[in-house]
């Protein structure tokens, strides 16, 4: 029977394994369902992960004729999802998460199930439990929080099949929620099934019940718990209780033997201290929930799942025990107990002796530098470490710095600012280990920060030769052409600190030569020399200011002057080529570099060409005599006393004599303007006179005439007056009429402005009647009177007058007047007033008006009335006879037609102008006044305005408008809100006092009159409706801002609210109190920091609050700046030809601004830096491609989106070690190749190169030849193989030439010659050096590279 049960159990397990494929598909479906259930909207984002640990599905049934045992299983599900609601989570707060997660449970019905979970999050999340199916938790389910263990617990006391489901533990707070889903699988209990069967059988025939057989009882008890065995046997009436227990135990042992299968046992391990050890075994387990126990010896290990000494891990069927940082105390036998299997293995820890891992080597350091001794230990030691110098223990101070690395294995001694006295043996001792190494100090060579410079001076000048050394303690000697002149009195020696100077005064040609300064220092056999050349030039003079031609009057003094550039040079004066010596009235004067020739009084004998000559200089000038122009005073007196008079149309001639040498320039002026010759004006000139001729003179030619004579010596002027006589001009101005009556017209005028050069003798007066063409002479007056009376006139008649002036030359042009009336004239009357229309009916109206203000000089006889339809241009007269009254009834109108009216006044002179057109009126019967306005109400309000609305009245005719009146609470009188009626049914009254109560009333109005008013029942306060505060952003302010350091941070916000809210600015949750400037308005505020710093980064919050609510807005501000430089640059040459750089990170690398490093290198022979690497993010980098035997400097620069940091440079150059031949320690049998001889030839020839100035150039080619040929390099025809500037190598059939730091002199042709006993082979190439500005060359080289084999 037991074998059959085992066979049935094995068949069930095989059937379960066959269902794994289907179960995996079910798992994927459940994973997608879990993920989709935790998805969020566009305003949230979620992170979901789902894990299925084990899946088993299916069912197995074992049936016999007496009982049926069923086992029900479902998928074991375990999934996790997390949803974040807030876009920005404040610092210190977090989304809920599970610190301890609940685990899936599989249990039989009737058992209890307990889920436990521990959650984290801030604010503290709330935890709820749900079923995925949506069914409520069963009655026996209890949820509570364990305050001691900080766990949330779901407990189900007595399970039944309906409790099987996927349960969700939901932890949520304001930032998000976390959901962990686990399955509860409830299997059927055969014992309980048997109870159900008993209940069913009890309903049947009791006489049919019989005890089960032994095989049936084993099946029943296989699914029950041990504590229920006795009760179940009693219920079934089975009496052999002990026998059935013994068989059940034997059956289970056989099953358990097959539950654990060892595929790989534990193995012994040997390890070193402080290392990690892993024991692993591969087990095949039938029951995945079987318990495992690890032991050290007989002691059970305490397993910690995170960061403990012991940690158990599982990867599939592989089970591991991880032991961290083993020590000697961890040695022993480790065993694993799983089921009835016992696996064991031994751990052995081997301790090594303490020793030095690196040699303690001698060190040579230049003075003033830092010497560093470093030693590496094989392991940590508690023994004290002692540094000694010359057998004296080193004490830590400003001179000596002792440090230990973080791993406790590296000890470092730094000797700062080393001097010669620091030389000696340095030793280190720790425990029984001791090491010693000497320190050698090298003197710093003397350098010239300022060398001697070549000096160029003239004779008698002073020369200065100076230099500046790096040391002020150096000894100085001076040499001239290799001869020591240190003590010579010819020179002046100056020494000030590091500066030395040699002064040579009054230099002559013998002082030329090479001068050198020789510097030495104590304990240094070297001599440091700087030299320069002194050149002395012969002195020559040049003219700084020469002479110019001079003119002077006879008898006046004169001076000729020459200025040279050198006051030590003399000269000689010459006149017309002969030396000035016996010439009277002449004096030669020398004042330094100024040379003068002085004349006391010029005569004709002094005129001539004068020359001044000196060594290397010459200047000349011409001296002449010049007299100013002069006019005879008698002629001037006559011209000023008597003017020149001529009649109009005749010719005027004016001649004036003069004298002067040279002849002066003649200029005539008329009324201040220069006279220009034309067909009327001529100017004649002779050596001693000039004549002005004016033809056909006119009155306008009268005026002042001036003659000006001018030369280089002076000028003369003659003035005269020209008078041209002619008939007078017309009388001037407007004629006045002091008297105009029916009997006489009296007139008055002004005399002419120009009398023609002669006195006016009288005036002639003429007149003509209006509308007449002929003039009649009515009288004349003498020249002294400008008044005339015309007595022969007719009253009311219009006349026109003209007046002429008379002198001895003739009569002037007339002065005409306008029309003048004799007495007052009669005119048509003025304009009547605008007609007013009243008493309007459908066929008649009453028109009234006022008389005109002016009657035109005669009484108004009557009026004429006209009408027209509105929009028409045709007027129709209403009355047939003149109206004497100012009111008239117009009838015969057409109903519903608009009419306009006008009135015209008349007197005996005729009709006047029509009046202004009346307002248009509609021929219609009168309109009724409107009724009461309906539904007056308040639609809106603010602090200064109230908006009202209403409906039109139902009674009366339609209103044309509304009159709204307002009255404050403290006033009695009503005031109109508008000057004109309101056209609509709504209006906003503005300009109100805040929080004042106002009353309103309104009435309708039309052409028929005003309706009765209606008033609001209650007064209205002038204040807005209550509104909670709200921000008015409109995209102007973003929630994320990046500001550059040093610039201004300005946060401007607009908001609304009623009453106006109070705004508070906070930074990272704390009210802002710092360098900021906060401006607050009623509905806006500004937060300003004029100059930002890194420390200003943070979350800035604007908080609004009033009586009806609160609101806030956050802005995350990040201040970006140039990165700070890295520190502590270290250089290590680990691999030949490479250097590894290591430094300390800049603090700004983790700011998220794209910060990285740029690595640069520089050959010690050049000042140019070249980029070795870009965008380096670690603090370690290896530079490759370095040339052996050369010195290099290195630089590290931090770089971000703002810019570069200050560079971190290596203090000393690193010398790349030259390649050395490696001697193999293996004794290999030498391979003897077959003898073969080949003539040298090139497999891959050299190629032309084009290199940027300052970069390295590498040429290489491949060859063959046996015996190995000798390689020799040439530049042009010069051999360069032995030149230390170039680096060459020949190995494995490849020849390489490296030219470091190429310059212009490196351009040219390079040739490689290979030679062996069988022959010679040559190969050449060209090297071109270019600058970045050589654009044409770069274009040519690029073109050649595309066509030919050129390396660019």
Summarize pLDDT for 1288-1338 with one digit per residue, the tens. 888 778 888 888 888 888 899 999 999 998 899 999 999 998 876 665 555
User: For residue 514, what pLDDT is reported?
Assistant: 92
Quote helix, strand, coil % in the chain, to nearest 5.
10, 50, 40
Beta bridge partners of 208: none
Could you give the 3-state DSSP secondary structure of residue 1247?
coil
- Selection from 462, 454, 467 nearest residue 535 by Cα: 454
951-965 pLDDT, tens digit per residue, is 999 888 889 899 999
Determine the Cα–Cα distance for residues 1157 and 464; give it in Å rounded to an integer.
50
**Which percentage of the chain shows pLDDT scores above 70?**
88
pLDDT at 107 over 80: yes
**Cis before 449? omega within 30:** no
Given a contact cutoff of 8 angstroms between Cβ atoms, the answer to whether 973 and 966 are in contact is no
Sorting pLDDT into bands at 50, 70 and 90, what band is 192? low
User: For residue 644, what pLDDT is reported?
Assistant: 85
pLDDT at 340 over 90: no
User: For residue 904, what pLDDT is reported?
Assistant: 93
Chain-centroid distance, C-alpha 439: 55
Average pLDDT taken over every residue of the chain:
81
DSSP letter string, 840-874: --SSEEEEE----S--TTS---EEEEEEEETT---
DSSP letter string, 632-670: -HHHHHHHHHS-EEEETTS-EEEEEE-EEESPPEEEEEE
1295 Rama sector, left if φ>0, alpha if ψ -120 to 50, beta otherwise: beta
Flag the least confident range among 267-281, 413-427, 497-511, 997-1011: 413-427
Given a contact cutoff of 8 angstroms between Cβ atoms, the answer to whether 849 and 912 are in contact is no
User: For residue 1014, what pLDDT is reported?
Assistant: 92
* Pairing label, strands 798-807, 815-816: antiparallel
Sorting pLDDT into bands at 50, 70 and 90, what band is 35? very low
* CB atoms closer than 10 angstroms to residue 1325: 19
Q: Exposed, middle or buried by CB within 10 Å (0-12, 13-18, 19+), for 1135?
A: exposed
pLDDT at 966 over 90: yes
Is the model more confident about 176 or about 771?
Answer: 176
User: For residue 1151, what pLDDT is reported?
Assistant: 58
DSSP at 883: B
Q: Which residues of 527-545 are buried (b: 16+ CB within 10 A; e: fewer)?
A: ebebebebebeeeebebee
pLDDT at 809 over 90: no
DSSP at 929: P
User: For residue 536, what pLDDT is reported?
Assistant: 87
Given a contact cutoff of 8 angstroms between Cβ atoms, the answer to whether 232 and 221 are in contact is yes
Sorting pLDDT into bands at 50, 70 and 90, what band is 827? confident
Average confidence (pLDDT) over 205-210: 50
Is the model more confident about 184 or about 5?
Answer: 184
513-551 pLDDT, tens digit per residue, is 999 999 988 767 788 899 999 998 887 888 888 888 888
User: For residue 1347, what pLDDT is reported?
Assistant: 44
Determine the Cα–Cα distance for residues 1077 and 1098; give it in Å rounded to an integer.
17
- Selection from 1182, 1143, 1147 nearest residue 1161 by Cα: 1182
Sorting pLDDT into bands at 50, 70 and 90, what band is 734? confident
Is the model more confident about 1305 or about 37?
Answer: 1305
Average confidence (pLDDT) over 487-495: 89
Sorting pLDDT into bands at 50, 70 and 90, what band is 306? low
Residues 6+ away with beta carbon under 8 Å from 939: 947, 948, 949, 986
Average confidence (pLDDT) over 218-240: 76
Given a contact cutoff of 8 angstroms between Cβ atoms, the answer to whether 1246 and 1323 are in contact is yes
Determine the Cα–Cα distance for residues 1061 and 304; give it in Å rounded to an integer.
56
Q: How many helices (H) and strands (E) does the chain have?
A: 8, 110
Given a contact cutoff of 8 angstroms between Cβ atoms, the answer to whether 690 and 654 are in contact is no
- Selection from 713, 712, 710, 625 nearest residue 664 by Cα: 710
**Which percentage of the chain shows pLDDT scores above 90?**
18
User: For residue 305, what pLDDT is reported?
Assistant: 57
Given a contact cutoff of 8 angstroms between Cβ atoms, the answer to whether 703 and 646 are in contact is no
Tell me the chain's radius of gyration from C-alpha atoms: 64
* CB atoms closer than 10 angstroms to residue 265: 13
Report phi then psi at 152, rounded to 5.
-100, 130
Given a contact cutoff of 8 angstroms between Cβ atoms, the answer to whether 555 and 569 are in contact is no
Flag the least confident range among 68-72, 199-203, 301-305, 1160-1164: 68-72
Given a contact cutoff of 8 angstroms between Cβ atoms, the answer to whether 173 and 121 are in contact is yes
624-672 pLDDT, tens digit per residue, is 888 888 888 888 888 878 888 888 888 888 888 988 878 888 899 988 8
Measured at the CA of 619, the angle between CA 617 and CA 622, to 5 degrees, comes to 170
Flag the least confident range among 618-622, 983-987, 1133-1137, 1140-1144: 1133-1137
Residues 6+ away with beta carbon under 8 Å from 98: 80, 117, 118, 119, 120, 169, 171, 178, 180
Determine the Cα–Cα distance for residues 401 and 410; give it in Å rounded to an integer.
14
Determine the Cα–Cα distance for residues 1076 and 1096; give it in Å rounded to an integer.
10
Given a contact cutoff of 8 angstroms between Cβ atoms, the answer to whether 284 and 263 are in contact is yes
* Pairing label, strands 617-625, 627-630: unpaired
User: For residue 1095, what pLDDT is reported?
Assistant: 82
Sorting pLDDT into bands at 50, 70 and 90, what band is 120? very high
Report phi then psi at 513, rounded to 5.
150, -175
Average confidence (pLDDT) over 40-61: 33
Question: Is the overall model pTM greater than 0.75, yes or no?
Answer: no
pLDDT at 205 over 70: no
DSSP letter string, 141-172: EEEEEETTTTEEEEEESS--GGG-EEEEEEEE
Given a contact cutoff of 8 angstroms between Cβ atoms, the answer to whether 292 and 347 are in contact is no
pLDDT at 34 over 50: no
591-607 pLDDT, tens digit per residue, is 888 888 888 888 878 88
User: For residue 1335, what pLDDT is reported?
Assistant: 54
1217-1254 pLDDT, tens digit per residue, is 765 543 333 344 444 555 568 899 998 899 998 888 88
- Selection from 1000, 1053, 1027, 1034 nearest residue 943 by Cα: 1027
């Amino acid at each position: 029977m037991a074998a059959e049960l085992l066979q049935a159990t094995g068949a069930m397990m095989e059937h379960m394994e066959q269902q794994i494929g289907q179960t995996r598909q079910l798992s994927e479906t459940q994973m997608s369902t879990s993920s989709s259930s935790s998805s969020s909207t566009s305003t949230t984002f979620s992170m979901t992960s789902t894990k299925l640990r084990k899946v088993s599905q299916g069912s197995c049934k074992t049936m016999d004729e007496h009982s049926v045992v069923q086992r029900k299983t479902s998928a074991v599900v375990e999934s996790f999802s997390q949803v974040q609601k807030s876009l920005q989570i404040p610092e210190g707060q977090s989304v809920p998460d599970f610190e301890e997660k609940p685990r899936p449970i599989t249990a039989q019905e009737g058992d209890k199930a307990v889920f436990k979970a521990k959650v984290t999050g801030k604010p503290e999340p709330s935890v709820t439990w749900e079923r995925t199916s949506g069914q409520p938790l069963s009655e026996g389910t209890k949820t509570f929080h364990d305050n001691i263990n900080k766990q949330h617990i779901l407990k189900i006391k007595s399970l039944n099949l309906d409790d099987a489901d996927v349960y969700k533990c939901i932890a949520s707070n304001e930032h998000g929620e976390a959901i962990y889903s686990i399955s509860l699988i409830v299997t059927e209990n055969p014992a309980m099934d048997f109870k159900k069967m008993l209940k069913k059988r009890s309903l049947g025939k009791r006489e049919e019940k019989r005890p089960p057989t032994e095989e049936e009882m084993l099946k029943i008890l296989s699914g029950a718990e041990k504590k229920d065995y006795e009760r179940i046997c009693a219920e079934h009436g089975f009496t052999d209780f002990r026998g059935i227990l013994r068989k059940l135990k034997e059956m289970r042992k056989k099953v358990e033997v097959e539950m654990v299968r060892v595929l790989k046992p534990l193995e012994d391990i040997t390890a070193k201290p402080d290392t990690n050890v892993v024991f692993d075994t591969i087990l095949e387990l039938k029951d995945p929930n079987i318990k495992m126990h690890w032991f050290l010896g007989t002691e059970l290990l305490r397993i910690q799942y995170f960061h403990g000494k012991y940690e158990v891990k599982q990867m599939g069927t592989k089970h591991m025990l991880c032991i961290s940082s083993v020590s000697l105390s961890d040695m022993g036998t480790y065993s694993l107990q799983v089921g009835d299997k016992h696996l064991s293995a031994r751990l052995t820890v081997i301790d090594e002796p303490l020793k030095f891992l690196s040699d303690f080597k001698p060190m040579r350091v230049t003075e003033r530098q830092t010497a560093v001794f470093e030693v590496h230990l094989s392991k940590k030691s508690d023994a004290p470490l002692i540094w000694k110098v010359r057998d004296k223990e080193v004490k830590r101070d400003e001179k000596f710095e002792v440090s230990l690395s973080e791993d406790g294995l590296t000890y470092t001694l730094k000797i700062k600012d080393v001097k010669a006295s620091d030389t000696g043996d340095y030793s280190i001792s720790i425990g029984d280990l001791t090491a010693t190494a000497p320190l050698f100090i090298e003197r710093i060579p003397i350098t010239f920060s300022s060398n001697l410079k070549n000096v160029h001076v003239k004779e008698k000048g002073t020369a200065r030769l100076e230099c500046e050394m790096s040391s002020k303690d150096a000894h100085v000697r001076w040499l001239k052409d290799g001869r020591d002149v240190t003590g010579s009195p010819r020179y002046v020696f100056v020494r000030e600190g590091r500066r030395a100077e040699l002064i040579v005064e009054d230099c002559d040609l013998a002082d030329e030569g090479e001068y050198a300064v020789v510097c030495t220092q104590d304990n240094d056999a070297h001599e440091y020399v700087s030299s320069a050349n002194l050149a002395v030039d012969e002195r020559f003079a040049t003219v700084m200011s020469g002479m110019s031609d001079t003119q002077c009057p006879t008898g006046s003094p004169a001076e000729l002057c020459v200025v040279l550039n050198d006051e030590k040079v003399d000269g000689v004066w010459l006149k017309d080529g002969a030396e000035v010596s016996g010439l009277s009235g002449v004096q030669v004067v020398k004042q330094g570099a100024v040379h003068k020739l002085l004349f006391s009084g010029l005569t004709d004998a002094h005129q001539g060409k004068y020359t001044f000559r000196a060594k290397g200089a010459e200047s000349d000038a011409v001296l002449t005599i010049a007299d100013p122009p002069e006019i005879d005073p008698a002629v001037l007196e006559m011209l000023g006393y008597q003017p020149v008079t001529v009649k109009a149309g005749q010719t005027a001639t004016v001649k004036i004599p003069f004298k002067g040498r040279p002849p002066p320039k003649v200029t005539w002026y008329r009324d201040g303007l220069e006279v220009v010759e034309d067909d009327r004006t001529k100017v004649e000139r002779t050596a001693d006179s000039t004549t002005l001729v004016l033809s056909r003179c006119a009155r306008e030619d009268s005026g002042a005439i001036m003659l000006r004579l001018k030369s280089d010596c002076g000028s003369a002027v003659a003035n005269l007056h020209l008078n041209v006589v002619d008939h007078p001009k017309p009388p001037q101005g407007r004629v006045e009429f002091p008297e105009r009556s029916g009997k006489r017209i009296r007139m008055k005028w002004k005399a002419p402005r120009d009398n023609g050069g002669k006195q006016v003798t009288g005036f002639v007066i003429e007149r003509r009647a209006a509308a007449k063409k002929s003039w009649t002479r009515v009288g004349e007056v003498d020249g002294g009177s400008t008044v005339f009376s015309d007595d022969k006139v007719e009253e009311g008649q219009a006349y026109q007058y003209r007046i002429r002036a008379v002198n001895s030359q003739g009569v002037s042009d007339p002065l005409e007047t306008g029309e003048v009336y004799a007495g007052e004239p009669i005119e048509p009357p003025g304009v009547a007033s605008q007609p007013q229309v009243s008493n309007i009916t459908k066929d008649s109206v009453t028109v009234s008006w006022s008389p005109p203000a002016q009657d035109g000089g005669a009484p108004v006889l009557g009026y004429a009335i006209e009408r027209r339809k509105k929009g028409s241009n045709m007027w129709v007269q209403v009355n047939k006879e003149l109206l004497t009254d100012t009111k008239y009834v117009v009838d015969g109108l057409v109903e519903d037609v608009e009419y306009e009216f006008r009135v015209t006044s008349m007197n005996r002179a005729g009709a006047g102008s029509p009046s202004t057109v009346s307002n248009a009126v509609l021929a219609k019967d009168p309109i009724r006044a409107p009724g009461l306005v309906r539904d007056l109400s308040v639609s809106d309000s603010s602090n200064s305005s109230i908006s009202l609305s209403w409906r039109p009245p139902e009674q009366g005719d339609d209103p044309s408008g509304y009159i709204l009146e307002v009255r404050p609470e403290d006033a009695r009188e009503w005031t109109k809100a508008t000057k004109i009626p309101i056209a609509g049914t709504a209006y906003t009254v503005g300009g109100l006092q805040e929080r004042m109560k106002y009353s309103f009333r309104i009435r309708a109005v039309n052409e028929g009159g005003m309706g009765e008013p209606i008033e609001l029942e209650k007064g209205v306060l002038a204040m807005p409706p209550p509104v909670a505060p709200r921000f008015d952003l409109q995209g102007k302010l973003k929630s994320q801002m990046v500001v550059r350091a040093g610039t201004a941070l300005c946060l401007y916000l607009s908001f609304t609210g009623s009453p106006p809210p109070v705004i508070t600015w906070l930074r990272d949750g704390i009210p802002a109190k710092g360098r900021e400037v906060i401006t607050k308005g009623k509905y806006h505020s500004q937060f300003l920091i004029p100059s930002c710093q890194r420390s200003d980064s943070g979350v800035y919050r604007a908080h609004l609050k009033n009586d009806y609510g609160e609101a806030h807005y956050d802005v995350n501000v990040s201040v970006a700046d140039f990165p700070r430089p890295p520190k502590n640059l270290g250089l290590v040459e680990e691999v030949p030809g490479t250097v590894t750089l290591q430094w300390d990170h800049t603090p700004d690398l983790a700011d998220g601004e794209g910060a990285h490093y740029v690595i640069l290198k520089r050959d010690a022979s050049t000042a140019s830096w070249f980029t070795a690497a870009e965008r380096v993010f670690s603090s370690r980098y290896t530079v490759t491609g370095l040339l052996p035997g050369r010195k290099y400097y290195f630089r590290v620069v931090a770089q971000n989106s703002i810019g570069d940091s200050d560079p971190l440079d290596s203090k000393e150059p690193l010398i790349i070690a030259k390649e050395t031949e490696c001697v193999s320690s293996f004794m290999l049998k030498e391979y003897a190749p077959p003898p073969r001889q080949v003539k040298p030839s090139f497999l891959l020839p050299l190629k032309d190169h084009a290199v940027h100035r300052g970069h390295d150039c590498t040429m290489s080619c491949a060859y063959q030849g046996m015996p190995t040929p000798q390689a020799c390099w040439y530049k042009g025809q010069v051999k360069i193989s032995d030149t230390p500037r170039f680096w060459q190598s020949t190995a494995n059939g490849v020849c390489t030439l490296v030219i470091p730091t190429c310059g212009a002199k490196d351009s040219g042709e390079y040739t490689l010659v290979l030679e062996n006993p069988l022959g010679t082979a040559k190969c050449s190439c060209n090297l071109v050096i270019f600058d970045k500005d050589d654009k044409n060359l770069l274009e040519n080289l690029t073109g050649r590279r595309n066509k030919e084999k050129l390396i660019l």
